[in-house]
Structure 1
Amino acid sequence: MKTAPSTHPQLFAGRDEPILDPDLAIIDAHHHLYDRPTQRYLLDDYLEDAQAGHRIVASVYIETMAFARVDGPDVLRPLGEIEFANGVGAMCASGRYGDIRVCAAIVGHADLRLGDAVAELLDRAMQAAPERFRGVRQVAIEDPTDAPYRFIPVRPPSGVMRSPGFRPAFRHLVERELSFDAAVFHHQLRDVIDLADAFPDAAIVLNHCGHAMAMDMGEEEAAEVFRQHRALMFELARRPRVQCKVGGLGMPFWGFRLEERQDLIGYQELATLWRPFVETAIEAFGVERCMMESNYPPDARSAGFVPAWNALKHIVRGASPDDKAALFHGTAARVYRIELPSSVT
């Protein structure tokens, strides 16, 4: 029997919850696989979660620099992870592991501070995984406090999106019709707005509802963060090529402090806490530009896989069937160019 690391207390929790809306097809728009000293979460682990009751039909693999090459030019090191994820995608496409197409799309890493040198990486990645490589992410979250870095295995570099090489590198993404996953805190959303204005044809995907950073804050401070976050989300949503991933709410940055709990946290409690941010994202961007994500396993700090999806379903339970289809698989299929199974209508 597996034992969840203490930093992910909800990793195996809640799998016996009744499944809400069990026939709703889901493309998990954001998850990771890795093998680290503190946690191993690979294909078998993801399949245990994805086959626990919700109808996950495909997934989008997002980089964490897992399995990066240990030698060769730094700019090309991310190819190792892309090759790894592509292999997992090929394994699952065989049908040997059931009907779930894990890693049907891949978002790899690129250090966009390196400018034009990134072009070779992008071309090599497109050659290595032509059916799955869809874009890149470079985590750019930063905060004036040290609070968030307690939960980040490798501290991201500062000033990523304002570095001299970033926009020259970003131009290569746009020219190749590759997407950019933007991982920032809410107070950095102006950087994403500026980027979208500079590259109006770029496909930008905001991660985790724009991550309202409210760790270690009191009630009044957190309320002010929500007001700022909401205003910035609506401003960003005026850029029509920006999409939004709805999830990542199990991370500690939101200030819910659920990561401190050891008891089972059910979907109704999650839904109550998450609702304002989920509804803000959907209200701002619309269902056609929102896609639901598990952000697993990092979200296991606060939410079991089954309860997390139940919570998202519960929050939007009043939506029409067409709106639910867009949120849970349609937008992700379009943005990441994933062919839906014929059984999904």
Structure 2
Amino acid sequence: MTMLQVVDPHVHLWAPGTLRYPWMESDAVGFNGDVTPVKKRYAPADLLADAGDTVQVLKAVHIEAIAADPLAETRWVQEQADAQDVLKIGIVGYADFTRPDVETLLAAQCESRATRGIRQILNVHANPLYDYVGRHYMDDVTWRRNFKLLSQYGLSFDMQLYPSQMHAAAVLARDNPDVSFVLNHAGMFVDRDQVGGWAAWRDGLALLATLPNMTVKISGLGMFDHHWTVESLRPYVLQVIDTFGADRCMFASNFPVDKLYSNYPAVWQAFAQIVGGASDSEKAQLFRMNAERVYRL
């Protein structure tokens, strides 16, 4: 099998025992299923071990993992990046834009030289099973005002939400043209059993694709399809690429979360099989170049 070279722009490095992750302390089972198998240390060496000898991970981006102390999390990841020279790592940290001291936190996050952006999860859903945050941050005046600090600090924003929130997301992106937005997990098409669910996701993607400062990560598809196959993923992958174009999409693993449903080479080989007919330049963009550009790796 040919070695597949990738830049992985969505991984979670974590260290329970060293850092606290409140979600790991709960026994509740959400839509991801039982996450007990991944409640253990995941460092760069573990990512490379998962990649094995068929996927060469050239660079990776750590995405904040809902740690109790987000600044300690960023500093720990920076330490892991500095302790090895095999894998170049970028960091997307956490900040709550409703906090009065958020600028102080942003400045502190930027003290870690690998910091490239911020993520604050925005997912709200009427079904408690899928609801992450329970409030519409994008409707909050303070949140929107503080959000503009991202441009001042030169940080991107990883946007995680559901299709029902994409119109509000489009307004936010228009209001912040100097901020680079990265839509997480292909827009998280959750309402698969509802009439009109596909259309809402498809049309929301099309709206976001009209914004020049918006890119998208094709990742996390196993979260809503625990027994996925190449053919079950194919329509979602191709819809996103058709909507945004190969120059604004990037493949990502969402490991170790998606390790609950598959193994690392299988995820990347599935992507490779789905876009097998793409040109070499399109493949380079999807697997490496777009992630390097967006996250300045």
Letter in 2 for 1:79: L
How far is 1:52 from its partner? 4.2
- Asked if structure 1 preserves the Cα contact closer than 8 Å seen for 2:117 and 2:156, the reply is yes
Match of 1:342 in 2: none
How many Å separate the matches in 2 of 1:211 and 1:303? 18
What RMSD in Å do the two structures reach over aligned CA positions?
1.7
Structure-2 change in CA distance of 1:52 and 1:142 (3 Å): farther
Match of 2:6 in 1: 26
How many Å separate the matches in 2 of 1:201 and 1:168? 14
Instruction: Verify: 1:198 aligned to 2:183, yes or no.
Output: no
Structure-2 change in CA distance of 1:224 and 1:41 (3 Å): farther
- Asked if structure 1 preserves the Cα contact closer than 8 Å seen for 2:159 and 2:182, the reply is yes
Secondary structure (helix, strand or coil) at the match of 2:130 reads: helix
Please, what TM-score do these two structures have when normalized by structure 2?
0.88
Written as runs of structure 1 = structure 2, the 5 A alignment for 1:72-221 is 78-93=70-85, 99-101=86-88, 104-114=89-99, 117-127=101-111, 129-130=112-113, 132-148=114-130, 155-214=132-191, 217=193, 221=194
Percent of pairs with identical residues: 31
- Asked if structure 2 preserves the Cα contact closer than 8 Å seen for 1:110 and 1:137, the reply is yes
Letter in 1 for 2:72: G
Q: Which runs of 4+ in 1 moved over 4 A?
A: none
- Asked if structure 2 preserves the Cα contact closer than 8 Å seen for 1:65 and 1:81, the reply is no
Listed one character per residue, the Cα deviations across residues 189-239 of structure 1 (whole Å, up to 9, x for unaligned) are: 112111011112211100000001126x2xxx2x62112211110111000
- Asked if structure 1 preserves the Cα contact closer than 8 Å seen for 2:218 and 2:249, the reply is yes
- Asked if structure 2 preserves the Cα contact closer than 8 Å seen for 1:270 and 1:308, the reply is no
How far is 1:302 from its partner? 2.3
Secondary structure (helix, strand or coil) at the match of 2:215 reads: strand
- Unmatched runs of 5 consecutive residues or more in structure 2: 17-23, 26-35
How far is 1:166 from its partner? 1.4
How far is 1:301 from its partner? 2.9
Which one of the candidate residues 234, 237, 241 is aligned to 2:213? 241
Secondary structure (helix, strand or coil) at the match of 1:57 reads: strand
Secondary structure (helix, strand or coil) at the match of 1:40 reads: coil
Please, what TM-score do these two structures have when normalized by structure 1?
0.76
Structure-2 change in CA distance of 1:52 and 1:82 (3 Å): same
- The structure number with the bigger radius of gyration is 1
